[in-house]
Structure 1
Amino acid sequence: MLILLLLLLLLLLQLLLLLLLLLLLLLLLLLLLLLLLLLLLLLLLLLLLLLLLLLLLLLLLLLLLLLLLLLLLLLLLLLLLLLLLLLLLLLLLPTTSLLLLL
């Protein structure tokens, strides 16, 4: 009877140990899942940052293009002004020479 009781106790102890091991395994799995989730979140954040950086770069490129266009327009305006001045000079030249002849 005593041996039977001891065997039962040993079996109960083994069962308890198995339960504890299972619980530990579950905890480890949960921790691994949490770590994976954190890694995924970090990756997502990095991707978002990269996207933001790309957007900023695109915006900078657009601004540079606009500046270049403005500079080109200014140059064109200056050229037109110069042409107008030359035309005015050419228009005034014959009249001044005619006035000098008179």
Structure 2
Amino acid sequence: MKVMSEKDAKNSFDELMDTAQHEPVLITKRDRSVGIFMSLQEAERIPELKDKLLKHMNKTVQSPLLSMLGAHKDNKVFKSADDADKFIKQLRDEWA
């Protein structure tokens, strides 16, 4: 994503418009992000992307405990108690 200062965006509005047709442009003021300028086509896709994200989140949130316990990971077969302990430690590190 291209970044332009508010002043540059104002002084180079044609460039801003051209760039926004290909990628969103982050506008900054005093080194702080203040807005995004994007094409109408990209803006129209926002509700579609939001719906896809919510559907994905609903699938993973339906059973957070199972997800946390590794339900979606490959099943493990341990050859020793040490292997099981290492796996449990790895899961704990991921949760931290």
**Structure richer in strand, relative to its length:** 2
Q: TM-score, normalised by structure 1?
A: 0.24
Larger Rg: 1
**Structure with the largest fraction of helix:** 1
Q: TM-score, normalised by structure 2?
A: 0.25
